[in-house]
């Protein structure tokens, strides 16, 4: 077998990040800003207090077209897509035949069809998955000339309203076509920080112009992937490849809320997606293990892959995401534990270097979310 050496990819904002003094790292094949001179902690806190601007152009933007696109996509996700109203957005998951998660994504019903935002590391795999299963019934197009910016935080709405007053009509998980300083953008009111905010899909040719314009706002700072990770962790949101993978089902991941009632066993269009039988069985009979929030005692961050043991010193699970939460002001983790140890308040231990760190099972999220629901 020959090993393909893939060359590193760049987003249209690469030079812009470099000019701003960002520290660039390779992430999912892209050279991405992990932090700017402000640093992860301050970038994180700034996003929670004012507004952060993120370049997330590495993520995959896919357009599904054709009359039956919604019905076809329903064969691959446990989510109601057929009845998804125009300009509404829904969180979805591509499942495999065992009910495991191939990727998590956002689906928006736009004029042209269905607009999907998928994880960067999964986007080629996702397009192949779509092609293999539903190409004969709909057009699948990876939108290669589009960038994605996220403006997140309590000041985001005010800033967006200055550029497009109609954005103030938008609520969480809705979309609008907005002209921002002459640039036609597809904007959704959603994000990955737990804060109110927007994701802005726009032609790559205009990405730097809009980023510069937004950054001129006093309340806006550029935010790197480092703070994006700590923000989503405090918000209790899953990161694919860490908290989600092909061997974890949505039920085990605590994402049962994302399984639309229309697609459940007693719903209007039950099952019919890959692995639905496994997921129905789990919904009916329960699960063995589950994702939980874990609050370590003290100050030592309990990071991904730390072993979790119970009071009897038995190894029972692993931390799937963990680190320091700047808004929490201490360590925060999530991990998978057996259902009998998943109850809130359960005392567990994590092994970090040569010591056992006491932890408690706590509800997610760690920080109150501020989604704008009108």
Partner 1 sequence: MSQIKYSEEHEWVEVGDDGIASIGITDFAQAQLGDLVYIELPEEGQEIQKGESVSVIESVKAASELYAPVSGTIVEVNGALDEKPELVNQDAMGNWFIKVKLSDADELDDLMDEADYKDSIE
- Catalog residues that contact partner 1 under the rule CB under 8 A: 34-35, 39-42, 44, 226, 230, 299-301, 303, 323-324, 326, 353
C-beta of residue 156 within 8 angstroms of C-beta of residue 198: yes
Is the Cβ of residue 237 or residue 259 nearer to partner 1 in the bound state? 237
User: Closer to partner 1 at the Cβ: 44 or 206?
Assistant: 44
Give 41 or 75: the residue with its C-beta nearer to partner 1.
Answer: 41
Query: Shortest gap between Cβ of 298 and partner 1 (angstroms)?
Result: 9
Beta strands (DSSP E) in 153-244 are 175-180, 183-188, 197-203, 220-222
- Shorter beta-carbon distance to partner 1: residue 299 or 343: 299
CB of 253 to partner 1, least distance (A): 25
Tokens of 6: 């893939």
Residue 209: C-alpha distances to residues 20, 135, 198, 315 (Å): 14, 36, 17, 52
Distance between terminal CA atoms of the chain?
55
SS3 breakdown of the chain: % helix, strand, coil, rounded to 5?
25, 35, 40
Closer residue to partner 1, CB minimum distance, 114 or 233: 233
Longest Cα separation, the chain: 63
Write out the H or E segment, with its range, that includes residue 63: strand 60-65
Three-state secondary-structure class, residue 104:
strand
Helices (H) and strands (E) in the chain, counts: 8, 20
- CB nearer to partner 1: give 28 or 300: 300
């Amino acid at each position: 077998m020959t090993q393909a050496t893939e060359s590193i990819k760049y987003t249209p904002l690469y030079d812009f990040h470099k000019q701003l003094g960002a520290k660039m790292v390779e992430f999912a094949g892209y050279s991405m800003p992990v932090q700017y001179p402000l640093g992860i902690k301050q970038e994180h806190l700034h996003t929670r207090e004012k507004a952060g601007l993120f370049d997330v152009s590495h993520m995959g933007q896919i357009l599904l077209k054709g009359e039956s696109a919604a019905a076809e996509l329903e064969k691959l996700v446990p989510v109601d897509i057929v009845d998804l109203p125009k300009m509404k957005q829904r969180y979805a998951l591509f499942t495999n035949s065992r009910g495991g998660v191939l990727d998590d994504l956002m689906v928006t019903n736009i004029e042209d069809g269905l607009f999907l935002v998928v994880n960067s590391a999964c986007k080629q795999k996702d397009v192949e998955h779509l092609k293999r299963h539903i190409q004969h019934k709909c057009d699948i197009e990876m939108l290669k000339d589009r960038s994605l910016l996220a403006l997140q935080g309590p000041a985001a709405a005010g800033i967006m309203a200055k550029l497009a007053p109609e954005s103030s009509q938008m609520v969480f998980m809705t979309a609008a076509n907005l002209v921002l300083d002459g640039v036609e953008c597809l904007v959704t009111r959603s994000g990955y920080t737990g804060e109110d905010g927007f994701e802005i899909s726009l032609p790559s040719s205009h990405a730097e112009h809009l980023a510069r314009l937004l950054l001129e706002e006093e309340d806006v700072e550029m935010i790197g992937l480092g703070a994006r990770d700590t923000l989503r962790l405090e918000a209790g949101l899953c990161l694919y490849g860490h908290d989600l993978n092909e061997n974890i089902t949505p039920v085990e991941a605590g994402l049962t809320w994302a399984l639309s009632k229309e697609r459940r066993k007693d719903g209007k269009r039950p099952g019919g997606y890959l692995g639905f039988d496994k997921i129905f069985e789990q919904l009916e009979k329960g699960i063995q293990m589950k994702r939980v929030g874990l609050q370590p005692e003290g100050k030592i961050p309990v990071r991904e892959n730390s072993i979790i043991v119970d009071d009897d010193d038995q190894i029972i699970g692993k931390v799937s995401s963990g680190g320091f939460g700047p808004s929490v002001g201490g360590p925060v983790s999530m991990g998978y534990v057996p259902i009998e140890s998943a109850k809130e308040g359960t005392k567990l231990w994590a092994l970090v270097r040569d010591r056992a760190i006491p932890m408690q099972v706590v509800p997610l999220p760690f920080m109150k979310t501020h989604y704008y629901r009108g």
